[in-house]
Every structure is written in C-alpha cells, then in structure tokens.
C-alpha cells in the first residue's frame, strides 16, 4: 500500500514540474510574440530542447532524425536505419 502511495506522490511531483515548465514556455513564447513578433528560428531550438527535457523526464525514447522539425531536409521524415 505504501509503495503505491510513493509512486503516486512521485508522479504528482513530476506532473507539477511539467506543468511549471509548460507555463514557463508559454510565458516565454507570449513575451517573444509581444516583443519581437513570432520567429520560428528563435522558437524552434528552444522547443526542441524542451521536448528533449520532457522525453528525458518521462523516460520516452528519442525519435530517429528530426521528426517534427519543419524543414526541406527531412520532408516526410524518412530517416534510414
């Protein structure tokens, strides 16, 4: 019973951290839109870094290639291997 409680507390703590990070990213994006206008070249590297942190925290594997990044180099995201 105590083990389930510990897992629930750890999950709740991780969810709280993720929510705080999401709020931070949203605030940063809102500031960037207001200050500079939206610019994908500035936003995208931060978004990819955020996604990498979230995947690491959740223990999910990283995708092969740069799937999700809009560019002509990876149209269709067909990465060999």
pLDDT digit string, tens, across residues 6-44: 899 999 999 999 999 999 999 988 887 888 776 667 778
pLDDT value at 45 more than 90: no
* pLDDT for 53: 84
Q: Residue 67: inside a domain, yes or no? A: no
* pLDDT for 79: 43
Total number of domains constituting the chain: 1
Distance, in Å, from the CA atom of 30 to the CA atom of 37, rounded to the nearest integer, reads: 9
What domain range includes position 17?
2-58
Q: Residue 20: inside a domain, yes or no? A: yes
Highest mean pLDDT (candidates 42-46, 52-56, 64-68): 52-56
Q: List the one residue out of 20, 17, 25, 23 whose CA is nearest residue 51.
A: 25
pTM over 0.75: no
As a whole number, mean pLDDT of residues 72-81 equals: 47
């Amino acid at each position: 019973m105590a083990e389930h409680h510990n897992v629930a507390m750890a999950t709740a703590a991780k969810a709280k951290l993720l929510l705080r990070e999401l709020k931070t990213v949203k605030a940063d994006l809102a500031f960037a839109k207001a200050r500079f206008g939206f610019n994908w070249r500035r936003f995208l590297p931060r978004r990819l870094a955020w996604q990498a942190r979230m995947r690491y925290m959740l223990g999910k594997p990283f995708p092969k290639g740069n799937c999700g990044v809009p560019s002509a180099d990876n149209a269709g995201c067909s990465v060999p291997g």
